[in-house]
């Protein structure tokens, strides 16, 4: 009998081979350089799983314990590597379980391809078992989606899916494949997609716009750079640094721009946004020129738009034309990939230092240190703070870990205090604020960046939204470090209730299980810290572990995150307490 391997050898010998749609999907993935995917099997995708079994030496499929976990793991992988993450699920509930991940990837511009099985073509529209209109459901949360109903469409559609997911402003693509298309045969030939006629992913930066931008930058007295994830997605880290250093302009990051430049860079002034730093927010309304690079003026960044940077001229470097003048009217828009635009801009920029202007940031930084940071990082009270845990992780990792944070107070604290020396190191759900993101995303990040320490920082609430992924970690021996900052509350919501709803703590108090026992139930090394005296040592033990490790830290139950711009308020009205 012919072995599978013989069959495979024979097939790869001729370029145009007749294979099943399911096998074609595998060949497409391999042709796109995919060696790792996340997913969960079921009836409508079984032919593909059968092929995954045969190709397991070339393509690893990681079984998550929930399709949402698969989507977030693919996102974590994509965010850590810059490559396209791939997730797979069956029809119906499998497909709908991917939706949160798609929405998250859409709003955070993460390149991802999701493949779902679908009922056979002849049953479409008949309310067949596990039929759901995933194309209709996913349309608003995908960059592109397509339902394949014929095997012969597979190579072209898969090629197009990968091209669209990763080009221009990246995003998620969903390919829904009916079961008959998986079973039927096709003549397989794969051509990578290099263009789609109606799709122009890379607008060319216009020299006149660049000149206008340079003139504004060169003459501004108080210019201010705010950079976002566009720098990371556009691989423009070097160019950004060169611009900042040559121009001497103070630079702040958005939550997703964090780690594009090393945190300690002397010209980095901190984070903008609702829980960002004091100076970067307040001085937004005092600069005379705002240079926005690869960021989209999210409302969590701008606060009240009517009072946002009204005194300043604004330059927007952006790849997506639809972002220009969407939230904030700008004076100069430079369309294009950040790397290309900044490269062209750099020679037009005059050297400068802006020392007096920098000292205004310093002053504000000192105020914030006295009012907030000191007590967060070096608390005098007995209870542990989230800030000191992040400080301890910085120390133990040498500022060199990938930090994957979930959503809530711990996320804001992680993004405020984690220090980074490498790009693509801060992975968090920024735009959607998806609780449950971090644990699976950390799995993907670790698998994508195996040589790096990956530390997930999670609240006791969000942890329980995808806690089942501990099984994935155990089964795959994925050496992620999981830190749960347990305040026994849905902390961020409780903070709002304290500040804006007169302390009516509606459904934010949590009675939690024994997290250490649960981790041990999944055969993970686990430890709980309740005293400050144990913290550094426990964190070190965790970081030194070659295996996955779970650390629960019992922190203050009712601490708040400051500074804070109350929602709808102006960046000038940021509160220090």
Partner 1 sequence: MEKKWFTISVYSENNVGLLNRISGIFLKRHINIESLNVSKSEIEGVSKFTVVVFTTEDWTRKIVMQIEKQIEVIKAFYHTDEETIYQESALFKIGSHLLFDERQIQNIIKDSHAQIVTVSREFFVLAKTGKREEIEEMYRLLKPYGIMQFVRSGRITVTKAEMKISSLLAAMEK
* Contacts to ligand TPP from residues 49-78, by CB under 6 A: none
The reply to whether 197 sits near partner 1 by the rule CB under 8 A is yes
What's 564's DSSP letter? B
386 labelled catalytic: no
Query: How many angstroms separate the CA atoms of 564 and 227, rounded?
Result: 20
Asked if 150 is part of the footprint of partner 1 (rule: CB under 8 A), the reply reads no
The answer to the question of residue 136 lying near partner 1 (CB under 8 A) is yes
Binder of residue 376, out of partner 1, ligand TPP, none (CB less than 5 to 8 A by kind) = none
Which residue out of 58, 130, 211, 468 is catalytically annotated? 130
Instruction: Name which position in 92, 440, 462, 563 contacts ligand TPP (CB under 6 A).
Output: 462
Interacting residues with ligand TPP between 523 and 562 (CB under 6 A) = none
Span of 70-78, 191-199, 207-215, 230-238 interacting with partner 1 by CB under 8 A: 191-199
Q: Out of 91, 145, 487, 570, which residue is the one contacting ligand TPP (CB under 6 A)?
A: 487
The CA–CA distances, whole Å, from 562 to 12, 371, 374, 492, 566 equal 59, 9, 12, 11, 10
Q: Would you say 129 or 199 has its CB closer to partner 1?
A: 199
Helix, strand, coil percent content, the chain, rounded in steps of 5: 45, 20, 40
d(CA 86, CA 84): 6
Which parts of 153-172 interact with partner 1 (CB under 8 A)?
164
Partner interacting with residue 164 (select from ligand TPP, partner 1, none; CB below 5-8 Å by kind) = partner 1
In whole angstroms, how close is the CB of 482 to partner 1 at the nearest point?
36
- Region from 285-293, 321-329, 378-386, 560-568 binding partner 1, contact rule CB under 8 A: 321-329
CA dihedral 27, 30, 36, 42 (to 10 degrees): -10
Task: Based on the residue annotation, tell me whether 67 is a catalytic residue of this protein.
Answer: yes
Q: Please, what is the minimum distance in Å from the beta carbon of residue 125 to partner 1?
A: 13
Q: How far is the CB of 103 from ligand TPP (least distance, A)?
A: 11
Q: How far apart are CA 95 and CA 106, in angstroms?
A: 16
At residue 548's C-alpha, the angle toward residues 545 and 553, to 5°, is 85
Give the one entry of partner 1, ligand TPP, none that residue 459 binds, where binding means its C-beta sits below a cut-off of 5 to 8 angstroms depending on kind. ligand TPP
Return d(Cα 366, Cα 253) in angstroms, integer.
19
Among residues 29, 99, 492, 519, the one that binds ligand TPP under rule CB under 6 A: 492
| Alpha carbons 550 and 516: distance in angstroms, whole number | 8
Kindly write down the DSSP assignment for every residue of 508-551, as one continuous string. -B-----HHHHHHHTT-EEEEE-SHHHHHHHHHHHHH-SS-EEE
The active-site residue, picked from 492, 542, 543, 564, is: 492
Active-site annotation holder among 32, 51, 67, 340 = 67
Residue 63's contacts (CB-CB under 8 Å, 6 or more residues apart) are: 39, 40, 41, 472, 475
Closest to 265 measured CA to CA, from 289, 245, 235: 245
Angle at 362 between CA 356 and CA 366, to 5 degrees: 145
Hey, which residues between 387 and 446 contact ligand TPP (CB under 6 A)? 406-410, 433-436
- CA-based R_g, the chain, Å: 25
CA angle, 233 as apex, 261 and 416 as ends, to 5°?
Answer: 40
Contact status: 241 vs ligand TPP (CB under 6 A)? no
321: how many CB neighbours lie within 10 A of its CB? 13
Q: Is 129 one of the annotated active-site residues of the chain?
A: yes
Task: Give the one residue of 51, 153, 340, 460 binding ligand TPP; rule: CB under 6 A.
Answer: 460
Q: Contact at 8 Å (CB) between 524 and 548?
A: yes
49, 144, 253, 549: which one binds partner 1 (CB under 8 A): 144
- Which of the listed partners (partner 1, ligand TPP, none) does 93 bind, with a CB threshold of 5 to 8 Å by partner kind? none
121 binds partner 1 (CB under 8 A): no
176 or 469, CB closer to partner 1? Answer: 176
- Tell the smallest beta-carbon distance from residue 283 to ligand TPP (Å): 28
Rounded least distance, CB 169 to partner 1, Å: 9
Taking alpha carbons only, the member of 37, 61, 64 closest to residue 50 is: 61
Give me the DSSP letters along 78-117. HHHHSSPEEEEE-STHHHHTTHHHHHHHHHTT--EEEEEE
Peptide bond into 226 cis (omega under 30): no
Residues that bind partner 1 in the complex, under the rule CB under 8 A: 135-136, 139-140, 143-146, 164, 196-200, 320-322, 324-326
Residues with catalytic function: 67, 129-130, 179, 492
Residues that bind ligand TPP in the complex, under the rule CB under 6 A: 406-410, 433-436, 459-462, 485, 487, 489-493
């Amino acid at each position: 009998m012919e072995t599978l391997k013989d069959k495979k050898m024979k097939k790869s010998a001729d370029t145009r081979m007749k294979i099943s749609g399911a096998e074609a999907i595998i060949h497409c993935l391999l042709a796109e350089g995919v060696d790792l995917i996340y997913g969960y099997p079921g009836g409508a995708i079984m032919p593909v799983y059968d092929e995954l079994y045969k190709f397991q030496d070339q393509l690893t499929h990681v079984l998550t314990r929930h399709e949402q976990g698969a989507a977030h793991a693919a996102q974590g992988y994509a965010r850590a590597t810059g490559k396209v993450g791939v997730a797979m699920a069956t029809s119906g509930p499998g497909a709908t379980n991917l939706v949160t991940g798609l929405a998250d990837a859409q709003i955070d511009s993460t390149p991802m391809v999701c493949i779902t099985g679908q009922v056979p073509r002849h049953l479409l529209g008949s309310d067949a078992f596990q039929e759901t209109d995933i194309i209709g459901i996913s349309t608003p949360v995908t960059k592109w989606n397509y339902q394949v109903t014929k095997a012969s469409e597979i190579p072209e559609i898969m090629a197009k899916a990968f091209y669209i997911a990763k080009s221009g402003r990246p995003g998620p693509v969903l390919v829904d494949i009916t079961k008959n298309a998986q079973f039927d045969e096709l003549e397989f030939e794969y051509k990578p997609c290099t263009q789609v006629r109606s799709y122009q992913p890379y607008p060319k930066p216009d020299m006149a716009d660049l000149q206008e931008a340079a003139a504004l930058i060169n003459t501004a007295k108080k210019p201010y750079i705010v950079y976002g994830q566009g720098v990371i997605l556009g691989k423009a880290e070097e160019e950004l640094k060169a611009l900042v250093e040559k121009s001497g302009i103070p630079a702040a990051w958005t939550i997703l721009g964090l780690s594009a430049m090393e945190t300690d860079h002397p010209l980095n002034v901190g984070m903008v946004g609702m829980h960002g730093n004091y100076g970067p927010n307040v001085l937004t309304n005092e600069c005379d020129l705002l240079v926005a690079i690869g960021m989209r003026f999210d409302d969590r960044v701008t606060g009240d738009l009517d009072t946002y940077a009204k005194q300043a001229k604004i330059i927007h470097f952006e790849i997506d034309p639809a972002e220009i003048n969407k939230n904030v009217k700008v004076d100069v828009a430079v369309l294009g990939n950040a790397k290309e635009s900044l490269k062209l801009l750099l020679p037009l920029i005059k050297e400068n230092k802006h020392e007096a202007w920098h000292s205004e940031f310093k002053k504000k930084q000192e105020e914030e240190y006295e009012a907030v940071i000191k007590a967060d990082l070096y608390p005098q009270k007995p209870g542990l703070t989230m800030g000191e845990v992040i400080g301890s992780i910085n120390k133990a990792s040498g500022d060199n870990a990938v930090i994957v944070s979930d959503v809530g107070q711990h996320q804001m604290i992680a993004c405020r205090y984690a220090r980074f020396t490498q790009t693509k190191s801060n992975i968090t759900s920024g735009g959607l604020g998806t609780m449950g993101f971090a644990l699976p995303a950390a799995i993907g990040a670790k698998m994508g960046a195996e040589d790096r320490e990956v530390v997930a920082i999670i609240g006791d609430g969000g942890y329980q939204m995808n806690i089942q992924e501990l099984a994935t970690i155990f089964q795959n021996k994925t050496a992620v470090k999981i830190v749960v900052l347990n305040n026994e509350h849905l902390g961020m919501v409780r903070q709002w209730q304290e500040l804006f709803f007169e302390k009516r703590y509606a459904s934010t108090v949590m009675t939690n299980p024994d997290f250490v026992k649960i981790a041990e139930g999944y055969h993970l090394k686990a430890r709980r810290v309740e005293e400050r005296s144990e913290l550094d040592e426990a964190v070190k033990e965790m970081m030194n572990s070659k295996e996955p490790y779970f650390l629960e830290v019992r922190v203050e139950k009712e601490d708040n995150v400051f500074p804070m711009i109350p929602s709808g308020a102006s960046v000038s009205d940021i509160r220090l307490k």
